[in-house]
Structure 1
Amino acid sequence: MTLRRKLLLVALCTLALPIAGWLYVRQMEMLLREGQEQALIASARAVARSLVVTHAPLPQGDAGWYVQQSANPITVDGYGDDWAPLTPWSQPLGGRGKLLLAEDKDWLYLYVDVRSTHRTRADAGDANALAADHLILGLDKGGQQRRYLLASMAPGPVTARPLDPPAQKLPDLIVAQWQEDGSGYRVELRLPRSLALDGLGVGVHDASADAGGDPQSVDIRPLLSYSGVLSKELAQLAPDNVRARVLAPQGWLLARSGRLGATAATVAEQPGWFASMVYRLLLANRLESAEPWTDEAPRLDVPEVKTARNGSPATLWRRGEARGSVVLAAAVPIGPAGNAQGVLLLEQASRAVPLLANRALLGLLTISFGVLLVAGAILLTFATRLSIRLARLRDAAEQAQANDGRLDGQMIGKFPMTEAEDEIGDLARSFERLLEVVGGYTDYLRTLASKLSHELNTPLAIVKSSLDNLEHAALPPDAVPYLARARDGVARLGTLVRAMSEATRMERAIAAAEPEDVDLVEVVRGCADAYRPLAGARRLDCVLPDAPLRLHCAPELIAQALDKLFDNALSFTPETGWLRLSLCASGDGAEIELANQGAPLPAAMHGRLFDSLVSLRDKATPGDAPHLGLGLYVVRLVAERHHGVAVARNLEDGSGVAFVLRLKGMPRQRL
């Protein structure tokens, strides 16, 4: 992984800053919520105590029938079409029926729906009416109660038969509508509001299921309904900008006042859709749906109301009707714990919490994003500069070494960034000192051959003269072979000394050669013509381009390099083998190849063939005269003098070896 990528990963660690800030903002939002919850619960408790102290008209007991408000008069026909808007809040009646009660300014309406697939029919006036399927209607007013029997043989109007003696202000005659189908029967009737009933009860009796029970039993419960008087009293006690509702223990709506609205300080501050989405996704805890809390619902059957009914306050955060708003609902019991007369519910809409949290979060994200960008840019700049400086060190170290292993003297003493005072400068100075030491050692090795040849000439001359003197002396016969071996060793040493001196002179001659513009086609053709007599029985092919190929070079050096290559190839080519000399243009220069038939090159020698004093010929053609391996070394020097390279490779078909000179030409000298 590059330095820039590593530092980029380090820069990403700064993301911990916005994450920590996000957690802090969430904690702050939770604290703001808790503060609002405590304040609203305190207000609700104060209002609930005031309702108890002022003896507000609250229901007694935890059971009752709720009478809904009907916006339009209901037609009493035994069908439930007019009751459709009120049906979701029907009240269970026994195990098989449901009861709906509604009122308008003149009438109290009653609708009973009983599910029964097996019917036993009788009219209310029949003697066996109590043994058939029937309803018992009970009315209560001022402590007086009266029951009525409702039964019918067929659908249509039905008259209720009183079961109890007459009671003051309770009717003697009640007319109802009876309708039935295969799933059961329905009864609908109405009573004048002027009766001002205190309680009402409906008993459902199934002849097949209630055998042994009291066929005249009825459960009379008090009537609960929305109270305008209680609503006015609640409006005087409830805080501003808060919607208050008084609920019966079962959750029925008894009174309400106020409406949801934002505070005056935040009315003009409408959060945008993006801020609302940020708050909902990143900050707010789970918000409940607003659907069960609608203002039109006559009953709130939610867990918070049940918790308050049992004596414990409860709070809930839900979505508000306005965009970006939330609603806090607090429910507290009215009356002592365990004997609550009802539940007080206060709801307060708030944009303050989302706005404050959004502002804090967006501000934090903006600052964090800016810090992250700046930190990332600084780290990226630093990594880029560091990478460039290291690349300069790498390039300088690579350029300091020539192809032949020598050090470029121009780099010594001029290594880049040695003036820097940081760790990169220390590394550059270490490289510079290393190059100075290696350069000095390389120069010593390069001049070692000439020094040795000069120093060995005198000892060799002494040894040779001593051997000459020994030849004129009388020696035992068994000493003659040893004298011959000594003379042979001196000859070999002399050859080595002359070769080292020749190599030194050759390097100087190659370096001093003068270039000129020549046609390489003529140079190679002339060399090929000169080599044919030397090839003997071997076949020599010459492949040349049709057009002239001009190059600024030293032709005598190229001919000398070809001589060395031909001498080397000839010694490895069988007597009946072949050689091929070819020339072609290559890029901005030329390429000369000499291929010969023979054994392939060992893999280990591919990179060392063109080094000095390296040869394979001793193993290929053993003889008395040693071969010093300077020919291919000269070829490499010639190629490098022409800014090229010398390479050797095995032919693809395995039939022999090819030596290639890739030449780019010598630089032109300015006059």
Structure 2
Amino acid sequence: MLKRLMALVPDFELTRLKPSFGLRTKITLIACLLLTLPWIGYNYILEMEKLLRQGQEQTLVGTTRAVATALNERPNLFSDQASFLQSVQKGRDLYAYELTSAIKLDGKINDWADYTEQVVNYDREYIQFSRWPYQRSSVHFNHMVGKYEGYLYAMFEVNDKKPVMRRKGSARVDRNDHLIIAMTTPSGDFQRYVVSVYEDGWFNAWHINGEISNPADLALESQIQGYWHTTDTGYNIELRIPVEMLGSKLGFAFYDVNNTSNREIETIIGTSNTNQVSKLGTVLIPSPEIENILKGMGHTSSRIWVIDRHQRVLAQTGDIQDSNGVWSSSVKYGDDNDSWWAALEQKWLHPLYYRYLINEPTEFQDSLKDAARVEGVHISQALQGRGYSHWRHSSDGKAMILAAAYPIWLGDNVMGAVVAEESTIGIQTLRNRALEKLLNALIAIIVVGTLTLFLFASNISRRIRKLRNEAESAIDSQGKIQHTITATSESDEIGDLSRSLAGMVNRLGQYNHYLENLSSRLSHELRTPVAVVRSSIENLSMHEQDEDAKRYIDRAQEGVQRLNTILSSMTEATRIEQSLQGAEKELFPLNKLVEGCMQGYQMAYKDQLFNIDAGTEPVMVDGAPDYLAQLLDKLISNAVDFSQDNDPINVTLSHTHNQACLIVSNKGPLLPQEMGDQLLNSMVSVRSQSKHDKPHLGLGLFIARLITDYHQGKILLRNRKDNLGVEVCVMLPTVTLEEESSN
């Protein structure tokens, strides 16, 4: 039954139930185009960042050029650092790393823990003599050197399965495990020293003036000091040498003795041959002169290296973590602001930006920190005589690092290069600050713009909706003017439309009023001439006439009667409409009324068959029984006129959802397309007048509609689902048992 009721709902009602996009929704969608502004601004900032990086690149190349210019044609800065060697060998040519603090000489290597990557392991490759085939388990050591405040520190972690110390009271230093130190002085003299101890503890080296086996050729050197500490795997040695004693060459060699009886040397392993100056390795100590030059130039926004042509670091200044570039000084943060906008930024906006849109600069890992040798395409290009810059990622990928290199010239030869590095933290911070301001401005524009457009659209949609509601309520479903439209005084297009519609409805109302009163005026005006014609015909019929005259008089009387019927029908609708205004309603069962009327119809239309189903339960309605009976008269009369011979007329009364549905169905001709609603209007009919002996003005269904509207119901005409006829459905509100008891 619910499906049948839904089928009765007009199509235009269903159309209104469909989702639609109003002006506010459309303008809000259009306002979403404002969201492209952040994307455009973001890409603009990225392009600006590229330009800033190019500027940083040019600035850094200029920095390296300036530093290199200060170091050009100064051979004294390179001659003492073994920079004239054609090649260097790892482990043989030593590099003194810059230490962050002084080493405590205690034989423990805890102070060297931060430099484990710089420690070199010496084993088979560095054997200088072996009495027996070398076994790594016999002896090998780890070694590195470093510089701090005028001292060269050296660390040796020796793995020796049989350490042999000096015998108590013995003057010989070569009949046990000992360390030979060979070097050149700043003036170029070749000097050798030996470290040999009786037991663990503090020691001073012995200067060898002749043969090491002759105790008379040994002299205690108080400036070379250290500590010998025995371990489970051998022993550790820590020592220091004043830098002022060192020239450009340095070497260390361990002499291993395993037999305590004959105390013969079995293995010699070291950084280089310590017996001849020509075979001695070099040592590179970061140049204090170059460091002073770098510090004097005041370059604090970059990390600067000076390297020789073997890519070994001669001097270094600055920290890459703090080298933000020249753009870091451009980032100016304002004073703390206690305004509501500043609080909104700090609490909501900035966390949102840095979570989804902006990457905050973070500390990164520096793989080249304290490096002794640096490499890269920029350095290769600089050592070939060309300045070059290069971008690289940090070792952990958290930052971009810009490196630039420029050659240092000595005559026509490239003696080294100046390498400068900067991170992009300064540019990134500047970019983030610009993005913050840009996003703040764009959010404000988007919020204000969207809100303005939404309010504007709301105002327009409100005015249009108001005009629509007035237009819909001005004319009912049958086209009757209910009230006029109030014209607005607005000067825009909607105001013009309102005034146009108001004028149109006023004109339609006047014309509609004329049409509504036309039938009563015609019937009133025509009754007098009809009465005159009728009386004249009656007087004429009293005289004697021939057969032809009688026939004409009969036809005239028939026409007058037909005309009188038309006038009665024209006045019936007006009379019923007026009488409905004073009708009184009462509560009664509608099914009883239908059953009683149908019994009368069966007697009135003896040749017509009726099928009735009014149900057993009472269907209570609050209305006027006489007028509802007259409504049923019109429906049955209309169904009988269109019903085919021997086809029953079905009358069904059902009750669901506080609605009574009375359906009168008959077989016969179908309704024309889209004529169902029009047939409920006055003076509309689809009957063929030539096939009927009495006039039909289409007022029957119009009267039925008036009675239905009075009872706050609905009447619908439609073709049957089987397309064999037509059915009329009248829906009336019913009264529930609770409402009946309260009444």
Aligned to 1:535: 605
Aligned to 1:260: 320
Distance in 2 (alpha carbons) for counterparts of 1:315 and 1:280: 27
* Partner secondary structure for residue 340 of structure 1: strand
Aligned to 1:94: none
* Greater mean alpha carbon deviation, residues 71-80 or residues 610-619: 71-80
**Cα shift at 1:343:** 1.7
Aligned to 2:434: 360
Q: Deviations over 1:148-185 (max 9, x none)?
A: xxxxxxxxxxxxxxxxxxxxxxxxxxxxxxxxxxxxxx
Does residue 558 of the first structure (1) align with residue 628 of the second (2)? yes
1:605–1:105 Cα change, 3 Å: closer
Aligned residues, how many? 540
2:610 maps to a residue whose letter is L
1:34–1:278 Cα change, 3 Å: farther
Distance in 1 (alpha carbons) for counterparts of 2:512 and 2:599: 41
2:681 maps to a residue whose letter is D
Does residue 237 of the first structure (1) align with residue 306 of the second (2)? no
Distance in 2 (alpha carbons) for counterparts of 1:574 and 1:297: 111
Distance in 2 (alpha carbons) for counterparts of 1:407 and 1:50: 100
1:75 maps to a residue whose letter is D
Distance in 2 (alpha carbons) for counterparts of 1:562 and 1:447: 26
1:594 maps to a residue whose letter is V
1:71 maps to a residue whose letter is V
Q: Deviations over 1:23-61 (max 9, x none)?
A: 554455445445544443333223222322432216778
Aligned to 1:590: 660
Aligned to 2:618: 548
Aligned to 1:7: 27
> What are the equivalent positions in structure 2 for 1:75-114 lying under 5 Å apart?
75-76=123-124
- The answer to whether the 8 Å contact 1:279/1:358 transfers is no
Aligned to 1:209: none
Aligned to 1:642: 711
1:629 maps to a residue whose letter is G
* Greater mean alpha carbon deviation, residues 476-485 or residues 580-589: 476-485
Aligned to 1:46: 66
1:646 maps to a residue whose letter is I
Aligned to 2:342: none
* Greater mean alpha carbon deviation, residues 549-558 or residues 240-249: 240-249
1:540–1:257 Cα change, 3 Å: closer
* Greater mean alpha carbon deviation, residues 253-262 or residues 299-308: 253-262
- The answer to whether the 8 Å contact 2:394/2:401 transfers is yes
Does residue 64 of the first structure (1) align with residue 87 of the second (2)? yes
Distance in 2 (alpha carbons) for counterparts of 1:276 and 1:317: 25
> What are the equivalent positions in structure 2 for 1:264-663 lying under 5 Å apart?
294-295=368-369, 297-319=371-393, 327-335=401-409, 339-349=413-423, 351-408=425-482, 411-412=483-484, 415=486, 418=488, 420=490, 422-458=492-528, 460=530, 492-618=562-688, 622-663=691-732
**Cα shift at 1:237:** 2.7
1:6–1:614 Cα change, 3 Å: closer
1:558 maps to a residue whose letter is L
Q: Deviations over 1:564-585 (max 9, x none)?
A: 1122222333453323333232
- The answer to whether the 8 Å contact 1:304/1:316 transfers is yes
Distance in 2 (alpha carbons) for counterparts of 1:611 and 1:601: 15
Distance in 2 (alpha carbons) for counterparts of 1:350 and 1:640: 81
* Partner secondary structure for residue 662 of structure 1: strand
Q: Deviations over 1:447-498 (max 9, x none)?
A: 1112222333455566667878998999999999888777765554444333
* Partner secondary structure for residue 691 of structure 2: coil
Q: Deviations over 1:254-295 (max 9, x none)?
A: 55455434279999x9x999988889769x9xx9x987x623
Instruction: Report the TM-score when normalising by structure 2.
Output: 0.61
Distance in 1 (alpha carbons) for counterparts of 2:605 and 2:685: 21
Instruction: Report the TM-score when normalising by structure 1.
Output: 0.67
* Partner secondary structure for residue 538 of structure 1: coil
* Partner secondary structure for residue 262 of structure 1: coil
Distance in 2 (alpha carbons) for counterparts of 1:564 and 1:320: 95
Match of 2:733 among 656, 664, 671: 664
- The answer to whether the 8 Å contact 1:62/1:341 transfers is no
Distance in 2 (alpha carbons) for counterparts of 1:383 and 1:498: 55
1:356 maps to a residue whose letter is L
1:487–1:299 Cα change, 3 Å: farther
- The answer to whether the 8 Å contact 2:273/2:279 transfers is no
Query: Percent identical across equivalent pairs?
Result: 30
Does residue 22 of the first structure (1) align with residue 42 of the second (2)? yes
Distance in 1 (alpha carbons) for counterparts of 2:23 and 2:135: 79
Distance in 2 (alpha carbons) for counterparts of 1:542 and 1:665: 20
- The answer to whether the 8 Å contact 2:520/2:570 transfers is yes
- The answer to whether the 8 Å contact 2:64/2:419 transfers is yes
Distance in 2 (alpha carbons) for counterparts of 1:467 and 1:314: 128
**Cα shift at 1:499:** 2.5
Q: Deviations over 1:636-666 (max 9, x none)?
A: 1111111112222333345543222212379
* Greater mean alpha carbon deviation, residues 629-638 or residues 579-588: 579-588
1:585–1:520 Cα change, 3 Å: same
- The answer to whether the 8 Å contact 1:244/1:345 transfers is yes
- The answer to whether the 8 Å contact 1:517/1:550 transfers is yes
**Cα shift at 1:533:** 1.2
1:352 maps to a residue whose letter is G
**Cα shift at 1:516:** 2.1
* Partner secondary structure for residue 57 of structure 1: helix
Q: Deviations over 1:405-435 (max 9, x none)?
A: 1011xx326x3x7355554343333322222
**Cα shift at 1:345:** 0.6
- The answer to whether the 8 Å contact 2:68/2:407 transfers is yes
Distance in 2 (alpha carbons) for counterparts of 1:515 and 1:192: 131
* Partner secondary structure for residue 658 of structure 1: strand
* Partner secondary structure for residue 475 of structure 2: coil
Distance in 2 (alpha carbons) for counterparts of 1:273 and 1:614: 73
- The answer to whether the 8 Å contact 1:32/1:353 transfers is yes
* Greater mean alpha carbon deviation, residues 596-605 or residues 498-507: 596-605
- The answer to whether the 8 Å contact 2:323/2:421 transfers is no
- The answer to whether the 8 Å contact 1:235/1:257 transfers is no
Distance in 2 (alpha carbons) for counterparts of 1:273 and 1:590: 64
> What are the equivalent positions in structure 2 for 1:210-225 lying under 5 Å apart?
none
Distance in 1 (alpha carbons) for counterparts of 2:391 and 2:459: 54
* Partner secondary structure for residue 47 of structure 1: helix
Q: Which runs of 5+ in 1 are unaligned?
A: 87-103, 108-187, 200-222
- The answer to whether the 8 Å contact 2:713/2:733 transfers is yes
1:609–1:27 Cα change, 3 Å: closer
Distance in 1 (alpha carbons) for counterparts of 2:547 and 2:605: 45
> What are the equivalent positions in structure 2 for 1:191-210 lying under 5 Å apart?
191-193=272-274, 195-197=276-278
